[in-house]
Amino acid sequence: MSERQDLELIGALVPAGSRVLDLGCGDGALLEWLQREKGCSGYGVELADDNVLRCVQRGVDVIQLDLEEGLALFDDQSFDVVLQINTLQAIRHTERMLRETARVGRIGIVAFPNFAHWPNRLKVAAGRMPVTRALPYEWHDTPNIRVGTFADFGVLARRLGLHVTDAFGLHEGQLVRLAPNWRASVAVYRFEQGAQRQRLG
């Protein structure tokens, strides 16, 4: 999810001047953009050595940490926004990480490949796993340990008591609000901690 249009559409959800924690920040491109375009500050969290180096080269403050170990390093509500962009599908303890995201940040934003996108459904119906821009790996070499859909996350968010404030899809740099579970290759959710439940999508 490195396309500039996707980055800007996700970045638009982040209020200007926010203190941001980017979990699984990759090469730091989104955090660099937020710092430059929206006056944000904060940290990236990344495990891979090569990505940590790229973050440093971009001028992004980065902490090398395995997300499976949790976020005990950070206090409650210590960030305005916590990002999980293209990270959720590679984390083993998804529910725990979502709860931690809501604990550490006032706003959580997640984006992940939408397995229910219609070309994926056709590929599975033909007996093969899909390989797409959003899901670029073959079944045997993927770093992903699960696949999920736009609709699946809405159900999980309600079960965890997360208050969803926005939800939409992305496809080839375009915003998808009509039938995103069917028409979007990437699912995007913005949420806050709270018992209020909202039905979207």
**Alpha-carbon span 142 to 131, nearest angstrom:** 10
Domain containing residue 128: 4-193
Looking at residue 21, its amino acid is L
**Alpha-carbon span 105 to 176, nearest angstrom:** 26
In terms of pLDDT, which residue wins out, 127 or 183? 183
- Residue 114 included in any domain: yes
Q: Could you write out the three-class secondary structure of 26-83?
A: CCCHHHHHHHHHHCCEEEEEECCHHHHHHHHHHCCCEEECCHHHCCCCCCCCCEEEEE
Q: Is the pLDDT of residue 72 over 60?
A: yes
**Whole-prediction pTM:** 0.89
Indicate the helix (H) or strand (E) that contains 193.
Answer: strand 186-193
Residue % of the chain over a pLDDT of 90: 71
Please give the pLDDT value at position 153.
97
- Residue 200 included in any domain: no
- Residue 199 included in any domain: no
- Residue 110 included in any domain: yes
Q: Is the pLDDT of residue 130 over 90?
A: no
Q: How far is CA 151 from the centre of its chain?
A: 15
Q: What's the chain's average pLDDT?
A: 89
- List, in order, residues 6 or more apart from 37 with CB less than 8 Å away: 11
Encode pLDDT of 18-52 as tens digits. Answer: 999 999 999 999 999 999 999 999 999 999 999 99
Q: Is the pLDDT of residue 196 over 60?
A: no
- Residue 113 included in any domain: yes
- Residue 168 included in any domain: yes
Q: Is the pLDDT of residue 201 over 90?
A: no
Q: CATH no. for residue 180?
A: 3.40.50.150
- The tally of domains found in the chain comes to 1
Q: Is the pLDDT of residue 186 over 90?
A: yes
Please give the pLDDT value at position 145.
66
How would residue 187 be classed by pLDDT, with cut points 50, 70 and 90? very high
- Residue 49 included in any domain: yes
Q: Is the pLDDT of residue 14 over 60?
A: yes
